[in-house]
Structure 1
Amino acid sequence: MSEDFRSNVSPDGNAAGLDGVAENKKSRKPAVIAVASIAVVAVLAGCGYLGWKAYTGHQLAEARQACVEASESYHKAAGEYSKLVDGDAAAASQITAKQVADAKTVAVLAEELKATEPKTVACVADDKAGYEAQAALIEKHAGWYGKHAKSLENAVKAVNDSKLAKTVSDAERLLKDSDGKVQDAKTRDELSKAIKAKDADAIAAASKKVNDSMAAKTKADEEAQRKAEEEAAAQAAAEAAAAAQAQTQQSYSAPQQSYTPSYSGGTSGSTGGGSGSSAPDFVPVSKGFGVGSADDCDAACRAPIQH
């Protein structure tokens, strides 16, 4: 028997060595199980942490993505609103109360343009809750832009419609007032068509043509009247000159006068008591009176008769 075997034999001769070995194996088994359990728990714990970390990271990524998408919608709404403000709204804001049928539309548009835009919100946060809060605020601001863009569009449309209404009304009045006062009647036909179409640009162009035609007719009428007045004045002046000339000729014409000499005495051959001469008492001759002809008889003929 070997020495090792003898050492495991009890004094009473029993083979105690084999039992001891078995007993040692039994005593080590719980320890192994405990260590294995701890290892399993550690592995499970590690897996759980990794799983939790992966889960929370996924949620954070989703929250961040939702915030980014909300921010994109916000910037799109803000861009459309700015385009409206700088474009159609800016043009409509130049229209005055005198250019529209309803002045209230101009006031409403002015108030819409005074609205204060919300501040920009950045999509930055440290955790899921932070991203969710930022996304909610961004969505709220995007809603503001959507709401005010709609109301601003309505205000712009109201102003433009009111301006068109006044344009049509003024054109209708011009069409009525220009009846019979245009040089070219076709301009009024063109204006009538533009009014029916409610085309502001066409109405403006046709109205200008009507006004120009009215001005041309007015000028032509004034010119015709001026010419008629000048002709009438020239005729009156000619008649007056003719009348004056006739009056002058009448004033300077010599009066036509006649003279018949008178005779006295008896018949030829009578004697005694009276004049027996048959010749007239005065014979207008040139000798002794200086009368050369019958036309010179004026003064000499009135001389006293001498017997």
Structure 2
Amino acid sequence: MDENTNTTDALLGVADAVVMDAPTPDDGNGTRNRRPVVVAVASVAILALLAGGGYLGWKTYTGHRLAEARQACVEASESYHKAAGEYSKLVDGDAAAASKVAAGQVADAKTVDALAEELKATEPKTVACVADDKAGYEAQAALIEKHAGWYGKHAKSLENAVKAVNDSKLAKTVSDAERLLKDSDGKVQDAKTRDELSKAIKAKDADAIAAASKKVNDSMAAKTKADEEAQRKAEEEAAAQAAAEAAAAAQAQTQQSYSAPQQSYTPSYSGGTSGSTGGGSGSSAPDFVPVSKGFGVGSADDCDAACRAPIQH
């Protein structure tokens, strides 16, 4: 536009010069004046030039509008790429970490399902900012802005889904820690570990809760081991004491015992002597022969004829 304006001004300046140099009409002294004719010719030439300059000006104007549409499309594309980049960063970062949380690790399993659904969303295709005219650039820019809006919307909903999972996980972590704190009362070797866990629960610090919970569990295990060792030692000592007492009792009983005296039975026999009258010789013999009761002769069946013969006096 500035170039065309300068050209038109230059043409008008030339026309003025032509008019100034043209002769004036006859002033009565025989001199003719040609200035009006020259001015008319110059005016026609200027109009023609102005018409040509108007075409150039319109072409410049339309070119300017096309450049503006192209620039608007480029700016929309930049916004689109920025939104798409932020969404991808969220998907590969916080969302990826939250997606590894299992349903058993959260207070509400629905949060895990909601996050999984958000990650299934299909991203829009990339639109190139290329066109042949102003209308084409405007159409491309509108589509690019629409896609950029998709990324902005889904990035927000994905952030909310990630937050829901993390909050639910923290809620369960706190709940489990509170149960551990209650169940560990009187069962830890070092009571300070429970104090540390209590502070972490109040702060709702997941990392601190995890560290404190481990210390409490380790302290509980140490106390359990110490109690079992003490019980085992006590049982061994009791068994040893019982064995010692049994041995002492056996020894005392041995010292008090004795061997009973053996008794023997020797039968005695008595008998009279008689002298034979008439100067004969006399002999003595038992008045009876006892049946043996284990003193050398068996039963009556074992006695021979001599044994059974009557005793002669």
| Structure 1 length-normalised TM | 0.72
CA distance in structure 2 between the partners assigned to 1:196 and 1:298 by the alignment = 116
| Cα deviation 1:23-54 (Å, max 9, x = unaligned) | 9xxx9999989866653443122111111101
Q: Structure 1 residues 257, 67: closer, same or farther in 2, change over 3 A?
A: same
Q: Structure 1 residues 285, 102: closer, same or farther in 2, change over 3 A?
A: closer
| TM-fit CA distance, 1:248 | 2.6
Matched-pair contact (CA < 8 Å) for 1:266–1:277: no
Structure 1 segments unaligned to the other structure (5+ residues): 1-11
CA distance in structure 1 between the partners assigned to 2:251 and 2:199 by the alignment = 63
| Cα deviation 1:99-157 (Å, max 9, x = unaligned) | 00000000000111111111111111111000000000000000000000000000000
Q: Structure 1 residues 159, 269: closer, same or farther in 2, change over 3 A?
A: farther
Show the counterpart of 1:298: 304
Report the secondary structure of 2:121's partner residue: coil
Q: Structure 1 residues 256, 17: closer, same or farther in 2, change over 3 A?
A: closer
| Cα deviation 1:189-222 (Å, max 9, x = unaligned) | 0000000000000000000000000000000000
Q: Structure 1 residues 119, 242: closer, same or farther in 2, change over 3 A?
A: same
| TM-fit CA distance, 1:243 | 1.7
TM superposition outliers: structure 1 runs of 4+ over 6 Å:
12-23, 27-35, 255-307
Could you tell me which of 19, 22, 32 is aligned with 2:15?
22
CA distance in structure 1 between the partners assigned to 2:71 and 2:275 by the alignment = 173
Show the counterpart of 2:131: 125
Show the counterpart of 1:191: 197
The count of residues paired between Structure 1 and Structure 2 equals: 293
CA distance in structure 1 between the partners assigned to 2:191 and 2:4 by the alignment = 148
| TM-fit CA distance, 1:242 | 1.6
CA distance in structure 1 between the partners assigned to 2:3 and 2:223 by the alignment = 157
Q: Structure 1 residues 295, 232: closer, same or farther in 2, change over 3 A?
A: farther
Give matches, 1:158-177, under 5 Å. Answer: 158-177=164-183
Percent identity reads 92
Structure 2 segments unaligned to the other structure (5+ residues): 17-32
Q: Cα RMSD over matched residues?
A: 11.5
CA distance in structure 2 between the partners assigned to 1:157 and 1:200 by the alignment = 14
Q: Please say which of residues 255-264 and 226-235 is displaced more in the overlay.
A: 255-264
Matched-pair contact (CA < 8 Å) for 2:276–2:282: yes
| TM-fit CA distance, 1:255 | 6.9
Q: Structure 1 residues 14, 276: closer, same or farther in 2, change over 3 A?
A: closer
CA distance in structure 2 between the partners assigned to 1:69 and 1:123 by the alignment = 10
| Cα deviation 1:66-108 (Å, max 9, x = unaligned) | 0011011001101110111111111111110000000000000
Matched-pair contact (CA < 8 Å) for 1:282–1:306: no
CA distance in structure 1 between the partners assigned to 2:96 and 2:40 by the alignment = 81
CA distance in structure 1 between the partners assigned to 2:195 and 2:4 by the alignment = 142
Q: Please say which of residues 291-300 and 124-133 is displaced more in the overlay.
A: 291-300
Show the counterpart of 1:235: 241
CA distance in structure 2 between the partners assigned to 1:13 and 1:221 by the alignment = 101
Matched-pair contact (CA < 8 Å) for 1:89–1:156: yes
CA distance in structure 1 between the partners assigned to 2:303 and 2:189 by the alignment = 77
